[in-house]
Structure 1
Amino acid sequence: MPRYYFHIHDGHSIIDKDGMVLADTSEARRKAIRISGQYLDNDADVVSLGEEWRMEVTDERGLILFRLDFVVTDAASVGGSFKG
Structure 2
Amino acid sequence: MPRYHFNVFDGRKILDPAGQDLTDANSAQVEAIMVAGEIIKDYAKHIALGEDWHMEVTDDTGLILFRLDFQITVSPAVTSA
Q: TM-score, normalised by structure 2?
A: 0.92
Aligned-residue CA RMSD in angstroms?
1.1
Contact 1:6 1:16 in 2 (8 A): yes
Task: Tell me which residue corresponds to 2:44.
Answer: 44
Shift of 1:74: 0.4
**For this pair of structures, how many residues does the alignment match?**
79
Kindly name which structure, 1 or 2, has the bigger radius of gyration based on alpha carbons.
Answer: 1
Task: Tell me which residue corresponds to 1:28.
Answer: 28
- Is 1:58 equivalent to 2:46 in the alignment? no
Q: CA offsets per residue over residues 8-46 of structure 1, 9 Å max, x none? A: 000111100100000000000000000000000001123
Separation of aligned partners in 2, 1:5 and 1:37: 16
Shift of 1:47: 2.3
Separation of aligned partners in 2, 1:6 and 1:46: 20
What is the identity percentage for the equivalent residue pairs of Structure 1 and Structure 2?
47
Separation of aligned partners in 1, 2:20 and 2:46: 24
* SS in structure 2 at match of 1:8: strand
Task: Tell me which residue corresponds to 1:10.
Answer: 10
Separation of aligned partners in 1, 2:45 and 2:13: 17
Moved over 4 A (4+): none
Shift of 1:50: 1.2
* SS in structure 2 at match of 1:78: helix
Structure 1: where are the runs of 5+ without partners? 80-84
